[in-house]
Structure 1
Amino acid sequence: MATSPDSIASLLSQAVDGTGFNSQGGSLRTSGRLSPARLTLQRVYDQSRQGAPAKDASKPLEAPPGPPGKGKPRLLLMGQRRSGKSSISSVVFHKLPPNETLFLESTARIQKDSMASFMDYQVWDFPGQIDFFENPNFDMDAIFGEIGALIWVIDAQDDYLEAVARLNATVLNLQRFYPNINIEVFIHKVDGLSDDYKLDIQRDITIRIQDELSDHGFENAPVTFHLTSIYNHSIFEAFSKVIQKLIPQLGTLEAMLTNLCRTCRFEKAYLFDVLSKIYIATDSATADMASYEICSDYIDVIIDITEVYGSWPRSEGQRKRLEAEPWNAKVEDQVACNWAESCMVLHDSQRPIMLREVDRYLALVAIMKEDSYDRMPLVNMNVEAVVQGVTEFFEITKSRK
């Protein structure tokens, strides 16, 4: 008869007076001297825990396990209740329309999403009512042990003094024990505020945080501030800056795009994550929100067209008809090219926009100049070289992990 881990744990807790255990996170913690019988029970307990099914992740206030996210950069969304954390995650990573975020419920438990993209990473949405540093039920190493970014969301339309105070306490704790984590402050819900008022709020929050850190001797803490809203592209711009800090050798990608713009006389070039519309690299020219919005919207158009006219599952009978006379070739061999490429011209400024697929996750989008069509063979050759270089770049960086 098999013995459950819970029954073994019960025996262990009663085996020796003064010796306790804690099965938090799937590990047995003991103190004091152990008898041979207890050591045997502990070994059986550990073996049973390894074969036992994982606990229900939907339970509130559960300490997140560490091993599933091993090696993956982690983005932690934290902040006060109703500050907009779940709305941000839903809009950026789950394609939820911004106007539908009004119906989202407040987060009551840790929401963990694994993003399979050009770089596998995780997004954890934390409840705003929990202080993780004062709650002994949470394993701080499991939460903050992986190098990544902490995104603290502050509601700019609400009283933010308490949020700033909690952020200061969090940053001070992280600087003492996990100094490598980047801290990104999203001053959120600024879409309804005037430009002057936005800057005043950003300045006030920045001063309050920097003064507190300076008083405790952390003058160069990695804290960055962003003005964001889900109703425009500012939230994608902010996440782009966050993700770029997690990419090893980002300068190599930027150098390739800068050389491409100089050789082909492009105005601007972006390397986009197609799924989230986050750009992971751009050239050295000054970025402006207008060019990013144009390229981002263009990706939406291409994706919509691809869903209608692109690849779709074909029945076996349909494949046989397509591969029969007069073609006598597989469907894959009948396709002109196995990557997506498109180009369109903006009528207001006569600037072509070019899109070139790198792989299933990445796309190169460039804003060209008016006379670019005269040199399209040269443009295509250079774009192909950059795409090949980007592909090799990610193959090398993944193999080193």
Structure 2
Amino acid sequence: MPFLSCGLGFSDFLNAEIKPRILLMGLRRSGKSSIQKVVFHKMSPSETLFLESTNKICREDVSSSSFVSFQIWDFPGQIDFFEPTFDYEMIFRGTGALIFVIDSQDDYMEAVSRLHLTVTRAYKVNTNINFEVFIHKVDGLSDDHKIQKQRDIHKRANDDLTDAGLQSINLSFYLTSIYDHSIFEAFSKVVQKLIPQLPTLENLLNIFISNSCIEKAFLFDVVSKIYIATDSSPVDMPTYELCCDMIDAIIDISCIYSLADTGSSLPYDKESTAIIRLNNTTVIYLKEVTKFLAVVCFLRTESFERKGLIDYNFHCFKSAIQEVFDVRLRIQKHRKLLSQRRWSKLTTSSGG
């Protein structure tokens, strides 16, 4: 039975059927585990210096909200997952996104070759995988050097695919570092592609801001600081960084001044709200949507004088989001039921 060759049981099969799978791959010491710890475990970047190299596949469920729900598989850089005893077809078949991490401060020729081998093998199994390339550890590079590295890696990787007759494969490239917010923004883009309801969420945000005189709005997963949707206007890095800093400040203050511990791992709750007034007549307004989701809005001071209208429109927006939630949950329950039946047939046929 193919699942057993990787030590997978019913719960793994079920998660693969319901939750998208994100694979973290790359050469040794490229920064894969550090990325996972910083984004999903709130580890400070300086602490990652003491992380040991990953020597086995580490699987983790990320399920902080109904939309941010997936599996992350962290692969050790030295593993040969194409060896005959390793069921790579099963792994790639259930994968939504493959993130390949390249250390920009190291010689990346070997990494580009491994990227090509990995992508071509995965694409033959599953043509629907999103291939994401993190050009990582760029914090020590100048802006010109960053652009040069990205252009060179982009050209080499795509030239290799063209030479192999696989120019239909689309690679997305991101400049990332755990020492700033670029890694959170890159992961946001990756996760958004795995959310089927993304167009609906974006449309709801567009309606909300157009009727509330809001300039920009994000729908954030508070735990990871991944934004799962934003309106149709462009995203600039300083605005995104302000959102992340605001979320950090709110959680830190809540930890200090919240009531007695209720057993919740997060002091942020469904009643949370915050207002920050900048010295450039801009107001940042955060409102909870669910326990783990919040909307962060940017608007002018004069627009915020109509706070009653904004709050009413937000209530309508929140109700619409809840309806999208309910539909997604019904779909997940249906998939779970189908997966249980599929697993039952699989084990029966294998036993027979």
- Flag whether TM exceeds 0.5 (same fold): yes
Q: 1:82 aligned to 2:29?
A: yes
SS in 2 for 1:381: helix
Match of 2:165 among 217, 227, 233: 217
Match of 1:113 among 49, 60, 64: 60
Q: Kindly indicate whether the alpha-carbon contact (under 8 Å) linking 1:64 and 1:143 is maintained by their aligned counterparts in 2.
A: no
Aligned to 2:48: 101
Q: Kindly indicate whether the alpha-carbon contact (under 8 Å) linking 2:188 and 2:228 is maintained by their aligned counterparts in 1.
A: yes
Q: 1:67 aligned to 2:3?
A: no
Q: Distance between the aligned counterparts of 2:194 and 2:262, measured in 1?
A: 39
Tell me how far 1:273 sits from its aligned partner: 0.4
> In the alignment, residue 92 of structure 2 is paired with which amino acid?
F
Q: 1:94 to 1:127 in 2, by over 3 A?
A: same
> In the alignment, residue 35 of structure 2 is paired with which amino acid?
I
Q: Distance between the aligned counterparts of 1:231 and 1:139, measured in 2?
A: 35
Match of 2:323 among 365, 377, 392: 392
Q: Distance between the aligned counterparts of 1:305 and 1:390, measured in 2?
A: 27
Tell me how far 1:26 sits from its aligned partner: 3.5
Q: Kindly indicate whether the alpha-carbon contact (under 8 Å) linking 1:164 and 1:209 is maintained by their aligned counterparts in 2.
A: yes
Q: Kindly indicate whether the alpha-carbon contact (under 8 Å) linking 2:270 and 2:291 is maintained by their aligned counterparts in 1.
A: no
Q: 1:356 aligned to 2:302?
A: no
Deviations 1:149-181 (CA, angstroms, capped at 9, x unpaired): 000000000000000001101111122121111
**How many residues are paired up?**
322
Tell me how far 1:97 sits from its aligned partner: 0.2
Q: Distance between the aligned counterparts of 2:103 and 2:261, measured in 1?
A: 45
Tell me how far 1:64 sits from its aligned partner: 5.3
Q: Distance between the aligned counterparts of 1:314 and 1:257, measured in 2?
A: 32
Alpha-carbon RMSD across the aligned residues, in angstroms, is 1.9
Tell me how far 1:308 sits from its aligned partner: 2.6
Q: 1:122 aligned to 2:71?
A: yes
Which protein has greater RCO, CA pairs closer than 8 Å, 6+ apart?
2
SS in 1 for 2:140: coil
Aligned to 2:271: 339
Deviations 1:264-319 (CA, angstroms, capped at 9, x unpaired): 1212100000110000000111110000010111111111222233353469xxxx
Q: Distance between the aligned counterparts of 1:64 and 1:86, measured in 2?
A: 22
Match of 2:311 among 376, 380, 385: 380
Match of 2:232 among 284, 288, 299: 284
Q: TM-score, normalised by structure 1?
A: 0.77
Q: Kindly indicate whether the alpha-carbon contact (under 8 Å) linking 1:64 and 1:142 is maintained by their aligned counterparts in 2.
A: no
1:246-285 correspondence runs (5 A): 246-285=194-233
Segments of structure 1 that go 5 or more residues without pairing to the other structure are: 1-22, 28-61, 316-336
> In the alignment, residue 88 of structure 1 is paired with which amino acid?
I
Q: Distance between the aligned counterparts of 1:75 and 1:338, measured in 2?
A: 29
Q: TM-score, normalised by structure 2?
A: 0.87
Q: Kindly indicate whether the alpha-carbon contact (under 8 Å) linking 2:22 and 2:95 is maintained by their aligned counterparts in 1.
A: no
Tell me how far 1:235 sits from its aligned partner: 0.2
Q: Distance between the aligned counterparts of 1:362 and 1:338, measured in 2?
A: 9
Match of 1:369 among 300, 313, 321: 300
Q: Kindly indicate whether the alpha-carbon contact (under 8 Å) linking 1:63 and 1:138 is maintained by their aligned counterparts in 2.
A: no
Q: Distance between the aligned counterparts of 2:251 and 2:105, measured in 1?
A: 34
Larger radius of gyration: 1
Q: 1:269 to 1:184 in 2, by over 3 A?
A: same
Q: Distance between the aligned counterparts of 1:168 and 1:25, measured in 2?
A: 26
Segments of structure 2 that go 5 or more residues without pairing to the other structure are: 264-268, 333-352
1:140-155 correspondence runs (5 A): 140-155=88-103
Moved more, 143-152 or 186-195: 143-152
1:317-332 correspondence runs (5 A): none
